[in-house]
Each structure stands twice: as structure tokens, then as C-alpha cells.
Amino acid sequence: MQVVAVIPAYNEKKAVRDVARAAAPFVQCVIVVDDGSTDRTSEAAREAGARVVHHALNRGLGAALGTGFAAALALGADAVVTLDADGQHDPSEIPLFLAALSGGADLVVGSRMRTGLVGMPLHRKAATLVGNLATLLLFGAWVTDSQSGYRALSRRALERIDIRTNRMEVSSELIHETRVKGLVYTEVSIRAIYTDYSLSKGQSFTVGVRTLMKLILRRLVPCYLPLCPSFRFFSPSWLPLPSYAPGSSFRMGT
């Protein structure tokens, strides 16, 4: 299986080199998407042997993931694993994600909730809960860690999922797309590595509120971006909700 790691990065020269190097033994290729950084992020990634795709301007997490997914497909990827560039994720856990994909999953999300959110500051725990509730109420899917950046996608998911959001709201959008496209979702337990540096990279309250507003807009008018080729409303059924038990998989949208 041709596995590509996609690492979105914005001003991450301090950590991205180590993240790319640590991921390399578990995948066939590492792609770092430099999302308009003003520091030496691209250079640090190349020093680690990663392929670098560069945005001229900072476009946001969603745009960076979209670029990374397209680059991975162009390289013939059978699967993609995404990791944060700040060192929060342990690349040695990549085999857990690949095993879940081999078991038939299309989207595998690494859940910090299932390990008790150990070491996570209170405000991040609250943000995770709010993100989970928003994903449930807006998109009809209950998951334990909707905002996790550690995830894996099958080639089928990469070819079917349509990313239309540019920034942090993409995490919930991926779950929504999995649901409406009838793909198989599952979770694996992960540990999060919190350092002063990784904690400094989190969402602010203002960004969190803005993300929630964009998710609401995405739910009401899913094709709201200026470059979207068409304007379509949709009406997915909210119920019945998928019955999710930790460690199990389910096909969303069925």
C-alpha cells in the first residue's frame, strides 16, 4: 500500500523537521504543505527529506489539506495520513491508522477523548466538546474527537470527499463528507503530546467562534465559497444517527 503523510504547516520551522523525519519510516512519502509561511518552514521540511508544496499566501488548514490530498493522489497514494506539524502527534502510531484502513475504514480519526484527554488544558477540552456537539447538531454525526488533526483516509475517501472550507472547520467537514458520501468511519485511540510550543499553536477563542459560524454556514449553504462552480442545497437526514461504539466502525449515511 502506497501511504503518504500530509503535514500542513504554517510557520513551523521549529518542529516540522522532526515531525517529518519521525513520520518517514512509516510511510512511502512525506508531503509538507507550507501554507504561506514567513519563516524557514519549507527549508526545514526539505532538510528532513520531505516533498514540499508551497502556498504563496496563507490559505488555512482546509486549503492546505486539499492541496496535500491532491498532491498525494498525483503520486498514486492508496492512503493518506495527516499529522499536525507542531509535534503534537506521535508518528509511531501511524500503523494503528493503517490497520483500521486495511479493515475497511475510509476515514480513521485519532481520538484523544478515548485516552481521557490526558494533559489537555481545560479550554481545549471545552473546545473539543463544543466541536463534537456542533458536528452532531449540524451534520448529524456523533464522534468523540471531531477536531483531531491526526487522521487517515483511504483512496476512495480522497477521491469522493469534497473539501469546500478553507480553515479549521475542515475537521468537521471531513466527517460530514464521510457521512453524506456513505463512507466508513472509525476511530483509534491516540496520545497527544502537549508541550509549551504545541499549546501555543492552538485555536484562540475568536478563531473558535469564527469556525463555528463557518460550520453553520456550511450546513445551511454547503456551496458558499466564491469559486464554487454551482449553488446547491442539500437535505441529508439527521436521524437515525449512527450507533457508534468505541473501537467499532460504521458506514455513515446509511
For 131-174, how does the pLDDT look when each residue is reduced to its tens digit (9 = 90+)? 767 667 766 767 888 888 999 999 999 999 999 888 888 988 89
Q: Is the pLDDT of residue 220 over 90?
A: no
**The pairing of beta strand 184-189 with beta strand 151-154:** unpaired
Residue 104 lies in a domain: yes
Residue 67 lies in a domain: yes
Exposed, middle or buried, 102 (CB in 10 Å: 0-12/13-18/19+)?
Answer: exposed
The SS3 call for residue 180 is helix
Mean pLDDT computed over 53-82: 97
pLDDT for position 226: 38
pLDDT for position 160: 97
pLDDT for position 232: 31
Q: 113: which strand partners?
A: none
pLDDT for position 153: 98
pLDDT for position 245: 41
Cβ–Cβ under 8 Å, residues 167 and 239: no
Q: How many domains does the chain have?
A: 1
What percentage of the chain exceeds 90 in pLDDT? 56
Residue 253 lies in a domain: no
- Per the listing, cell 519549507 goes with 42
Cβ–Cβ under 8 Å, residues 250 and 185: yes
For the stretch 38-60, pLDDT in tens is 999 999 999 999 999 999 999 99
pLDDT for position 129: 73
For the stretch 229-245, pLDDT in tens is 332 323 333 223 333 34
Residue 111 lies in a domain: yes
The DSSP element (H or E) to which 8 belongs, if any, is strand 3-9
| 217 vs 156, more confident | 156
Residue 183 structural domain: 3-224
Write the CATH number for 136. Answer: 3.90.550.10
Q: Is the pLDDT of residue 252 over 70?
A: no
Rounded CA-CA distance 143/243 in Å is 10
Residue 107 lies in a domain: yes
CB atoms within 10 A of CB 116: 10
Mean pLDDT computed over 76-104: 97
Q: Is the pLDDT of residue 117 over 50?
A: yes
pLDDT for position 164: 87
Rounded CA-CA distance 36/13 in Å is 12
Residue 120 lies in a domain: yes
| 75 vs 235, more confident | 75
pLDDT for position 174: 94
For the stretch 185-215, pLDDT in tens is 999 999 888 777 766 665 554 555 565 665 5
List CB contacts of 54: < 8 A, sequence separation 6 or more: 33, 34, 36, 42
Cβ–Cβ under 8 Å, residues 100 and 25: no
| 125 vs 8, more confident | 8
Rounded CA-CA distance 145/177 in Å is 16
Q: Is the pLDDT of residue 94 over 60?
A: yes
Q: Is the pLDDT of residue 21 over 60?
A: yes
Residue 235 lies in a domain: no
Residue 201 lies in a domain: yes
